[in-house]
Amino acid sequence: MQDFDVAIIGGGLTGIGAALKLVKNNVNVAVIEAHEIGAGASGRNGGLVCSGYRHDQIWLEEKMGKSEAHELWDISQGAKKNLENILSENQINADYEKGLLFCAHNKRMFDWLQSDMAHLQNEYSYNDLEILDESECNHAISTKDYKGGVLDKGAGRVHPLKLLYGMANAAIKNGAIIYEKTRAIAIEENSNGVKIIHENGHINAKNLLICGDGYLHSINQEVEAKVLPISSFVIATEKLDFDLMPNAIGAMDTKFVVNYFQKTFDNRLLFGGGEKYTPNWPKDIAGFVRKNLLKIYPQLENVKIEHAWGGALGITPTRLPFVRKIGKAIYSASGYSGQGVLLAPFFGDILGQMILGDAQKFETLSKMPVPDFPGGRMFRFPLLTAAMSYYSILDKLP
């Protein structure tokens, strides 16, 4: 039973990003984590650091207007600066390297990548992009599978768990208290702020930040109506004695069920591909992902898969993160829809900025349109499964 200025539910990149910002500004913070730091998506992801959001800027301009779309783009670019500052200020070595290739799985998507690049250059003065034609793209990552791509020299990859541990250690050093193996089970707002009841007792705080993303169960109905978990799966090969990606550090493709992969610091191929929309995971995760890997890299047929795992990530109906004030003293950020490695630490920082009195970026993020998933509590999951399965069929079209 203790009192804090700010309590944070969730010890992932969002929660720890917020904690770090706050303790560096002398705010008294407690993080409550149901398992251990990094047990959620932040310790299990593919480590790709992507520019922008899941929708391109033209889509954002149409939905939100030019000026808001520009503010969102500036925030996503700010997230890169934030990542670099976190790494350097706290002396974290998290294998951060740049050079991420976006690969088009058909001609139509290659046309889209090129027009997206032209728009980013002309409208946003973003000049870190380079078009690679079919043969340059395939050569860059040693495959024959893609119709062309765009190399983003401002994006890249990081080792997410090294990043998160580094951030958590820095937060602790600056005074954060982290309670692991402590699941929050209920929240009660009162005149002093919020009471968070957890498995081992309760804590009181003036403000609460809910940062549970795809792992949040039955804590807040508003967040859970907009952010649903899906599962993604990853494998890592044995160490390779050749360079599979001579001209990139990582890649992802334009499929709805995206394949994403990177060359790790110890020269393994880390490959994510394959999703599940129900809680039933494949019995053989390695086999489930490997068949997607072999479509892109048939030459790795005889390479050993040494690690295989999965995790849940929060997605929203519009694929835009859900950032909102959801109570008198309760705020939340989640639903990065597969782009949280870069965004989550900065959105955590922005939650922190808001608590410290600068709500400008928080308000911009709060304008992102995120409706409830259709179907209510009963039918949300079946409808999500049906919709995702439908879109994944479109990946098979030429």
Ligand X SMILES: Cc1cc2nc3c(=O)[nH]c(=O)nc-3n(C[C@H](O)[C@H](O)[C@H](O)COP(=O)(O)OP(=O)(O)OC[C@H]3O[C@@H](n4cnc5c(N)ncnc54)[C@H](O)[C@@H]3O)c2cc1C
Taking the complex as a whole, the smallest distance from the CB of residue 16 to ligand X amounts, in Å, to 7
- Work out which of 51, 264, 332, 339 binds ligand X, going by CB under 6 A: 339
- Work out which of 48, 92, 101, 225 binds ligand X, going by CB under 6 A: 48
CB 251 within 8 A of CB 150: no
Neighbours of 295 (CB within 10 A): 12
H or E segment to which residue 260 belongs: strand 260-263
Our CB check for ligand X shows the closer of 62 and 180 to be 180
Interaction of residue 272 with ligand X, rule CB under 6 A: yes
Q: Is 306 left (phi over 0), alpha (psi -120 to 50) or beta?
A: alpha
| Closest residue to ligand X, based on beta-carbon distance | 340
Our CB check for ligand X shows the closer of 272 and 317 to be 272
Stretch that binds ligand X, among 9-17, 57-65, 138-146, 201-209 (CB under 6 A): 9-17
Q: Where are the alpha helices (DSSP H) in the chain?
A: 13-24, 57-64, 66-89, 107-124, 134-141, 160-173, 221-226, 285-296, 340-355, 360-366, 376-394
Beta strand 2-9 with 201-210 is parallel
Our CB check for ligand X shows the closer of 18 and 244 to be 18
Q: How many residues sit in the footprint of ligand X (CB under 6 A)?
A: 46
CB 64 within 8 A of CB 370: no
- Work out which of 18, 32, 158, 170 binds ligand X, going by CB under 6 A: 32
Taking the complex as a whole, the smallest distance from the CB of residue 398 to ligand X amounts, in Å, to 26
Contacts 24+ apart (CB under 8 A), 128-131: 128/51, 128/152, 128/153, 128/154, 128/155, 129/153, 129/154
Interaction of residue 313 with ligand X, rule CB under 6 A: yes
Interaction of residue 9 with ligand X, rule CB under 6 A: yes
Q: Which of 50, 59, 385, 104 is nearest to 249 (CA)?
A: 50
Q: Where are the alpha helices (DSSP H) in 247-339?
A: 285-296
Interaction of residue 277 with ligand X, rule CB under 6 A: no
H or E segment to which residue 357 belongs: none
CB 31 within 8 A of CB 11: yes
CA count, 13 A, side-chain hemisphere, 269: 31
Residue ranges in 245-264 that form contacts with ligand X under rule CB under 6 A? 260
Mark residues 205-244: x for contact with ligand X by CB under 6 A, - for none: ------xxxxxx--x------------x-x----------
Taking the complex as a whole, the smallest distance from the CB of residue 121 to ligand X amounts, in Å, to 23
Interaction of residue 156 with ligand X, rule CB under 6 A: no
Interaction of residue 202 with ligand X, rule CB under 6 A: no
Stretch that binds ligand X, among 12-20, 52-60, 295-303, 366-374 (CB under 6 A): 12-20
Our CB check for ligand X shows the closer of 14 and 143 to be 14
- Work out which of 7, 12, 116, 205 binds ligand X, going by CB under 6 A: 12
Between CA 285 and CA 292, with CA 286 as vertex, the angle to 5 degrees is: 100
Stretch that binds ligand X, among 170-178, 201-209, 298-306, 333-341 (CB under 6 A): 333-341
d(C-alpha 392, C-alpha 216), whole Å: 25
Given the rule CB under 6 A, which residues bind ligand X?
A: 9-15, 32-35, 39-42, 44-48, 50, 183-184, 211-216, 219, 232, 234, 260, 272, 310-313, 334, 336, 338-342, 344
